[in-house]
Structure 1
Amino acid sequence: MRNHFLALLFVFVSIGTVKAQGEAYQFFTKKGKKVVLKQVLKEAKSADVVFFGELHNNSLGHWLQLQVLKGLQAENPELVVGSEIFEREDQLNLDEWFSDQITESSFEGEAKLWKNYSTDYRPVLRFAKEKNLRFIATNVPRKYASLVSKAGLSGLDSLSREAKNYFAKLPMAIDMSLPGYVAMKDMMHGAPGNSDYMIQAQALKDATMAESLFEPLYAGKKIYHINGSYHSKDGEGILWYLKREFPTLKALNIHMVTQDQLEKLDDENTKSGEIILVLPSDSHTTY
């Protein structure tokens, strides 16, 4: 409780400090036009799926993530929420908590929670539960991504039928020429390990998160998906896999970045999403 209070205090102090200097955050279109949250939510009305590509440790970004969720839910009471932070193995825990079959403390004791869950993600989960929203654990279990990073996708072939329910259907396509994967390989140049296998592990995460959204999309549900910014940057990653299944999919990609100034969108951030959320470079982080 004390750590939670201190983290929230840091967030409010950060917001107050930046407000004293100017704005605490700024939304931009990819053309560099400033927009406000109300305009972002207006754009979201026509989207089948809204992505929030986050910086995992940015507290101010997580607060805005919750505000987007509140705005979407107000327009779509049957909104479906999905998130990278939960692996498919935790779906039962989520369902049991949301249906009040287990307590919140039991859920948190059983689920594989990220270290900043209580400060940064718990408010999102609590709001979704309060509004009776469906919440999907979309990510591949870490152990299977780790296996692929060491042995490639072929390492999954020998797993049981039950294990294969927890990741994207095999065989899965991978476009190794996608700029995001190429950049990832370049960053790994000279590092230990097989860079192609590492990209395959990343693609397994992207494909699994995308496939986890197929069923609600086929059912005509609007989706809000929370993931690390790299998984949806430039319309690649998860979006690449979704658009293979749904070529006419309408997506709104909100991409979070930090900059030293909030007056103008830096050139390198202009194509990262339809909406770019810019936060101060010195905004509070939880780790």
Structure 2
Amino acid sequence: MKFRYAALIFAPTALVAGGVFDGADVVFLGELHDNPAHHARQAEIVAEVSAPALVFEMLTQAQADLVTPAVIADEAALEAVLDWNNSGWPDFSMYYPIFAAAPEAAYYGAAVPRDTARRAMSEGLSTGFRGNPEAYGLLESLPESQQAEREALQLAAHCDAMPQEMLPVMVDIQRLRDAELAYSALQAFKAQGGPVVVITGNGHARMDWGAPVYLIAAAPSLRVVALGQGEDDAAPSGSFDLVESAPSVDRGNPCDAFR
């Protein structure tokens, strides 16, 4: 699997999507999950590019199959149909404008169900993957430097409270999620054409080791571009075709939950 490094263009304020996204087959729109400005920007771009299909990291395919124009017309109904309050994701009001921007689009889910993730932790990285793991590059080992960097990021994300032996497993689960996003994006493109828009966290959207790497491995002819969204003029980690910034949100100290 070849790792692609895209040119990074930093934009402190929002740019018109055209230019960077023109002619793209698949557009990854990264986010910090709890930043409402990031979701507002995603909704703007979804409307601008007239996406015929959207892929959500936050939805399973079973949930995505429940999304229809009639349900999208009622925010409360859509929230209830998706059982969003029990999903663990931030407030639905931040995500709803993305759905509202494309009520006629086809919706695809890429979330890895919990039981599948648990099986993958004990039985192997490709367990439960819906696609061909070899075609997507999921069976290849990561370069040692990248493996070490990703384990360090997992440790930091868990406030240094994660046992060392769990770090490789956590990296594997992230890779499985990347591959599932890639799989869903490719199925959406085959069925609906482009541009397919993928709504996901910055870590999954990055061009150097996120879901785009697995998508390009499976479908190298696709033109894939990615937006990363940072805060307070600080770019997110990784490589993107475009980086934008929004004001930060007050999160308190997330490590308090580990104490």
TM-score, normalised to structure 1, is: 0.69
One-letter code aligned to 1:120: M
One-letter code aligned to 1:272: S
One-letter code aligned to 2:97: P
8 Å Cα contact 2:72/2:100 also seen in 1: no
Q: What are the equivalent positions in structure 2 for 1:91-170 lying under 5 Å apart?
A: 91-94=64-67, 97-98=68-69, 105=76, 107-113=78-84, 114=87, 115-129=89-103, 132-149=104-121, 151-153=122-124, 156=127, 164=128, 167-170=130-133
Q: Which has the higher helix share?
A: 1
Deviations 1:249-277 (A, max 9, x none): 21221001123xx4xxx6x7596211001
Secondary structure, in 3 states, of the residue corresponding to 1:139?
Answer: coil
Q: In the alignment, is residue 173 of structure 1 matched against residue 149 of structure 2?
A: no
Question: What corresponds to 1:15 in structure 2?
Answer: none
Q: Which has the higher strand share?
A: 1
| C-alpha spacing 1:217/1:181, structure 2 compared with 1 (3 Å) | farther
1:198 Cα deviation (Å)?
Answer: 1.6
Secondary structure, in 3 states, of the residue corresponding to 1:136?
Answer: strand
1:201 Cα deviation (Å)?
Answer: 1.1
8 Å Cα contact 2:10/2:244 also seen in 1: no
> Alignment partner for residue 237 of structure 1, among 184, 205, 210?
210
CA RMSD of aligned residues (A): 3.3
Secondary structure, in 3 states, of the residue corresponding to 2:65?
Answer: helix
| C-alpha spacing 1:154/1:42, structure 2 compared with 1 (3 Å) | closer
1:51 Cα deviation (Å)?
Answer: 0.9
Structure 2: any 5+ residue segments left out of the alignment?
A: 1-6, 255-259
Question: What corresponds to 2:8 in structure 1?
Answer: 30
8 Å Cα contact 2:126/2:133 also seen in 1: no
Deviations 1:213-241 (A, max 9, x none): 22232353321111000012243221111
Secondary structure, in 3 states, of the residue corresponding to 2:239?
Answer: coil
| C-alpha spacing 1:279/1:103, structure 2 compared with 1 (3 Å) | closer
Secondary structure, in 3 states, of the residue corresponding to 1:256?
Answer: strand
Question: What corresponds to 1:61 in structure 2?
Answer: 38
Cα distance in 2 for residues equivalent to 1:116 and 1:207: 23
Structure 1: any 5+ residue segments left out of the alignment?
A: 1-28, 157-163
Secondary structure, in 3 states, of the residue corresponding to 1:43?
Answer: coil
1:45 Cα deviation (Å)?
Answer: 1.2
One-letter code aligned to 1:108: E
8 Å Cα contact 1:59/1:285 also seen in 2: no
Secondary structure, in 3 states, of the residue corresponding to 2:226?
Answer: strand
> What percent of counterpart residues are identical?
18
| C-alpha spacing 1:57/1:35, structure 2 compared with 1 (3 Å) | closer
One-letter code aligned to 1:200: D
Count of residue correspondences: 234
8 Å Cα contact 1:140/1:208 also seen in 2: yes
Cα distance in 1 for residues equivalent to 2:145 and 2:228: 17
TM-score, normalised to structure 2, is: 0.75
